[in-house]
Structure 1
Amino acid sequence: MHYGIASARVILRRAIRASLVLLMLAGTSSVVQAAERLYLFTEHYPPYNASVSGEGFAHNQEEITGICTDMVKAVLNRVDYDVVMKMRVWSYAYDWVQGRVNHGLFCTARTDERENLFQWVGPLAPIKWTLFAAPDSGIALESLEDAKGLRIAGYRGDVMSEYLVEQGFDVIMNAAGDVNPRRLVLGQADLWVTDGLVGPLVAENEHGITGLKPVLVFRETPMYLAMSNETAPEIVGDLQRAVDAARAAGELDAIIARYQ
């Protein structure tokens, strides 16, 4: 009788200890899961990144498409992380992700000035730094230096616009780039600096403007997924291996081909 009671007590104590261990493990698992959630931001910059609705913002990855977005999704399909993806104004997103754990920004041009601000995953798609003129413009440029003295439409936070400002060019900054084709045709700017694919697409889709003149391509840079410096190097390594695997499998080239 006493032996049976003692045995029951031992079994009960063991069950309680096992339950406590399971609770502790469950709590640890929740912490690990939270630590492995990635927060990725982009901007409305078709054809590289675009909201399905056509608006300049989106709240999840199902609402975002485009060359770079599809590349990032292909990479994410090869890793086991929970992902929150949002579209916001570039200048806001650029500042927001810096200093925050597991935050990233795509697609971001990798430049000397930005090198130490992020951990870089890629390359993904390249961009061609292009100066466009209005359809009826007679502007012709042999070199970038020929654009000195001309008014160039750009936007805040854009690497091409910031580069021209640093080089002493007259850049008219806006909060976003989609108003700039209109500035050209209204004579408010002589040139517009943007990517070679982006310019004609935005001009036609946003304003019905066709025939923009690409007068000079003055640089080409690869774009990356830029992860914050506070993100664990192990996560960055996982993402880089996924990029390399997706490229080796031909997925990234296939995505570019779909948009050409």
Structure 2
Amino acid sequence: MLIAAACCCSGAAAAATDIHAYTEDVPPLNYLDGGSIKGYSTEVLRLVAKEAGLSLDIDALPWLRAYAKVEETPDTLLYTIVRTPEREQQFLWVGPIGPRRIYLYRLAARDDIRIASQNDLQRYHNGALAGSAAANQLAAQGLQSGSALDIGRSDATNLKKLQLGRLDLVAMLDWAMAWQLRLQREPGKSVTPALLLDGKREYWFALNRKTPPERIRRLQDALNRIRADGRLQAIRRHYRSD
């Protein structure tokens, strides 16, 4: 009886939640820390929901499961996601919430590295995160794994290889590079962008297409307000200095 009652209460609580958000572990945008979901985008979402007067729950799942869950389930939201033409009709959108830029970085002291075009990358040992958009882009440009392209298991590992001289260049999201340097207590000027690989997109919140239009409007209006009064920029400064 107690179990049944608990389940009923749990179901009622879930039904009362306006938005159930799903995300993945990609610091510093969204990440798990001691069982809590934190990060830039998480803070922004919580503030936007509060400003809009909407209740919110957040769970972390592997990306493909989170993506499918939001596509299939009303009153759900996916973050942090890049808005692309291929995804446009799959969701309803609130944003943008921040820029998305992927650079190839070099050590600031390595002024011998000169890149006039992406063709020059063949002359260097480049690192990228396994399965990342940057790794796929570099491979598509003809960089061969094991020679001009080194695939690493984490951003932290790739940065360490760069610092040790085992890589000449490392591809990384600018948010991630700022975060890794902060974790290592390294000065931000110890590395510098050598080439912009991708800077055309921005990050958004994506909602299930059955979300009521009024709810989308309330979320977008709330985001516009926190951008206009500086609260969005204040959250951003907590995670990066630029």
TM-score norm. by structure 1 comes to 0.65
Rounded to whole Å, the distance in 2 between the matches of 1:183 and 1:92 is 32
Query: 1:99–1:254: structure 2 CA closer, same or farther, 3 Å change rule?
Result: same
Q: Tell me how far 1:203 sits from its aligned partner.
A: 4.9
Rounded to whole Å, the distance in 2 between the matches of 1:115 and 1:130 is 25
Larger radius of gyration: 1
Rounded to whole Å, the distance in 2 between the matches of 1:116 and 1:149 is 41
Let me know the Cα RMSD of the aligned residues: 3.7
Alignment correspondent of 1:237: 217
Q: Which has the higher contact order (CA 8 A, sep 6+)?
A: 2
1:142 to 109, 116, 120: 116
Q: Tell me how far 1:227 sits from its aligned partner.
A: 2.1
1:154 to 129, 134, 144: 129
* Structure 1, unpaired ranges of 5+: 1-29
Query: 1:134–1:65: structure 2 CA closer, same or farther, 3 Å change rule?
Result: same
Query: 1:31–1:200: structure 2 CA closer, same or farther, 3 Å change rule?
Result: closer
Query: 1:224–1:167: structure 2 CA closer, same or farther, 3 Å change rule?
Result: farther
Partner of 1:112, secondary structure, is coil
Rounded to whole Å, the distance in 2 between the matches of 1:42 and 1:233 is 26
1:196 to 174, 178, 189: 174
Alignment correspondent of 2:236: 256
2:195 to 216, 234, 237: 216
Partner of 2:52, secondary structure, is coil
Q: Tell me how far 1:173 sits from its aligned partner.
A: 5.4
The amino acid of 2:183's aligned partner reads N
1:43 aligns with 2:25: yes
The amino acid of 1:212's aligned partner reads V
Rounded to whole Å, the distance in 1 between the matches of 2:70 and 2:154 is 19
TM-score norm. by structure 2 comes to 0.69
Determine what percentage of the aligned residue pairs are the same residue. 24
